[in-house]
Structure 1
């Protein structure tokens, strides 16, 4: 493992997905899955998400489209929340999902609208909740 890339990726992963989500993912990874968590953190977040070619909001929108095409709803909800943290608006998410309906299919987009709508509502409720 490249510790520098892992640390860089961990920082970005926390900024996009939040400490609670990342802590939960790392803490609950089995011994079997631990290497996968390290790979995701190092390469997805440390290598790719840190590249200068796209803004984080753009990367979030690309991920939403790809996850819709792949019907990966758990990851979609996670990346919708991350997209909002990256400054993406619900309107932009809606437009990406409408675009995916044409190119990857209406059933996938309908399910993604359901998942994204729930994730957006939950994120808005969390943001509106008073802090202790």
Structure 2
């Protein structure tokens, strides 16, 4: 029996809250796209039992860095740091990415991380 879309949405909302805390979604996000993200990314994928949330956090940081999606990298970095991932771990992740994604990607990620750290430190 397939669950209703509402169940996936509710599961996604709960997972997003676990990942992001009370951080609101980015402004200007289309409601239909937001629903898709909540159901698919958070409700279906992040909620799977095969990997724990902390592992998924690091994978997400790695993949957004590798793909050059720095706005998503910054968003998930903010979520990760505010939920207990320490800066030393992020540093190691970025250094490791220099080997597999290239020095320019690692430089961009360090710049993005420093931007997020400055914002978090100022708050």
TM-score range, shorter chain: 0.7 to 0.9
TM-score, with normalisation over the residues of structure 2?
0.87
Q: Secondary structure at the match of 1:19?
A: coil
Query: Which one of the candidate residues 5, 8, 11 is aligned to 1:5?
Result: 8
Give the direction of change, closer, same or farther, for the CA distance of 1:94–1:68 in structure 2 (3 Å limit): same
From 31, 45, 52, give the equivalent of 1:34.
Answer: 31
CA contact (8 A) 1:16 1:85 kept: no
SS in 1 for 2:85: coil
Structure 1: gaps (5+ residues): 127-132
1:45 maps to what in 2? 42
Higher relative helix content: 1
- Whether 1:110 and 2:110 are equivalent positions in the alignment is no
Aligned ranges for residues 1-132 of structure 1 at < 5 Å? 2-22=5-25, 24-25=26-27, 28-29=28-29, 33-126=30-123
Partner SS, residue 7 of structure 1: helix
Aligned residues: 120
Moved over 4 A (4+): none
The Cα shift of 1:122 comes to: 1.9
Unpaired stretches in structure 2, ≥5 consecutive residues = none
